[in-house]
Amino acid sequence: MATTDSTSGTDPNARRLDRRSLLRMVGAPMIVLTLLTTLLGIMYLAYVVDPEENLHDFPIALVNQDVGETFGSPGQERRVNFGDQVADGLRKSVPADQIDLRVVGISEAERQMQSGKVYGAIIIPSDFSKRLGILGVGSVVPGDIEQPIITLQTNPRAGTYASAIVVRVGDRAFPEVNKQVGEELTRQVQAQLAPPEGGQAPELSGATRIALASPLQLIVEEFRPLPSNTGQGLTAFFYALLLLLAGVIGSMTIHTMVDANLGFVPTEYGPWYVHFPPTPISRFKTLLLKWGVMILMGSVVSLIYMLVAKGLGMPIENPLALFVYSAFAIIAVGITGLSILAALGSAGLLVNLILFIVLGLPSSGGTVPIEATPKYFGWLALFEPMHQVFLAVRSILYFDASGPAGLTRGFWMTLIGLVIGLVLGAVITRYYDYKGLHRGRPVSATE
């Protein structure tokens, strides 16, 4: 039978608000909130204050396709490969402690770009030395010439901010490489213009020297540009965030509302207050009931998210994969959250908040890449649910649901999280039931 609140100040059984109780009510929230906000400040500001200062192991592919070219007059030919010189110059000018410059072939570079393993690629074309030779000759002999190019490809599907870092790395390294190649090319041209023995060497004009000093052109282009309505690569992050929020908020809502209907906690809406008599049900069966509601809710919310996304014009090329994984992720997070609440009670609210949101968002890699954050974020990303869900969603939305692009890791890590949640909830609640720690009997604060 439901009861309404009719408590008055004259109730002889009411607790008295003494000094000790007042200190506890004021001090406990202050301590908890101080610690929580300190953690929030550290986590959320540390990863955005100076990403370039935190840069480490940032993967960029380096592809040298140059086949070289022969320079010099007959009998004095000299084989030169400017591509090798540029590659060596890039390796020296790019800080090794910040950039993981991977020297690979063009097919391997494309494979790593398609799976999001690298954030960009520097490509030296096969006719690079030949074009430099033509430029050298054309600088002193009239004719049409084309400036040799180096292509800097960004990978927008791996992250917009990561693409911006790739461009900045290229802009910083290119001038020094351009200067070195220019000096070598100038020497080659002067050697070819050397006069016969006893003759006078021709002088290079000022315009020729300027042209030879900076012979290269850096072209920036996107590898597989993102379609429209993808938020410049942010829709994957926010979709993953929605899945985490659905699981966390869903677990808290289901936990509270089911407990209220079972009579374990009161329900209060404005002035209306009701507290049902406790239902004789074990903790384990209560948790099973909550898990069941969570499974139904996960499927419904996954469908709602997809309908909203389609209604807003967001491109979804693999709707079945997105629906199935989204429901799976919501259910895994929700079940784990319910298990933590069953094990810790009200304290589980804070634990869920810290585990899934406070630590999860900055270590997700969805906005700032993990390689541009303090190194402890990389450690968190090994197991934090947000990062695993983001990788899977990004793979489905941007990389054709490719396993190597993150879907395989996201699936298995989500499954592991689900198993941990199921085992934790079952073991803890069965243990509580075995010990006779039933929820129907109120326990005083002094017990």
CA angle 228, 231, 235 (to 5 degrees): 110
Helices (H) and strands (E) in the chain, counts: 13, 9
Q: Parse the chain into domains and list their residue ranges.
A: 58-193+206-222, 230-435
Let me know: does 397 contact 239? Beta carbons within 8 Å: yes
Query: How far, CA to CA in Å, does 87 sit from each of 11, 44, 154?
Result: 84, 37, 18
- The confidence score (pLDDT) of residue 447 equals 45
Q: Tell me, what amino acid is at 148?
A: P
Q: What is the pLDDT of residues 262-307, one digit of tens each?
A: 988 888 888 888 888 888 899 999 999 999 999 999 999 999 999 9
At 234, list the tokens: 């942010």
Give the single-character DSSP code of 231: G
Domain covering 58-193+206-222, topology: abc type-2 transporter like fold (3.40.1710)
- The confidence score (pLDDT) of residue 430 equals 95
Work out the end-to-end distance of the chain between its first and last CA atoms, rounded to an integer number of angstroms: 27
How many Å apart are CA 395 and CA 157, to the nearest integer? 9
Q: What is the pLDDT of residues 226-259, one digit of tens each?
A: 999 998 889 999 999 999 999 999 999 999 999 9
10-19, 36-45, 108-117, 172-181: least confident range: 10-19
DSSP string over 73-116: STT--EEE-HHHHHHHHHHHHS-TTTEEEEE--HHHHHHHHHTT
Q: What is the pLDDT of residues 106-143, one digit of tens each?
A: 999 999 999 999 999 999 998 888 887 777 665 544 54
Residue 413 has pLDDT above 80, yes or no: yes
Q: State mean pLDDT over 38-57.
A: 85
Q: State mean pLDDT over 436-447.
A: 61
What's this model's pTM, rounded to 2 decimal places? 0.86
- The confidence score (pLDDT) of residue 144 equals 54
Residue 437 has pLDDT above 90, yes or no: no
At 238, list the tokens: 């926010």
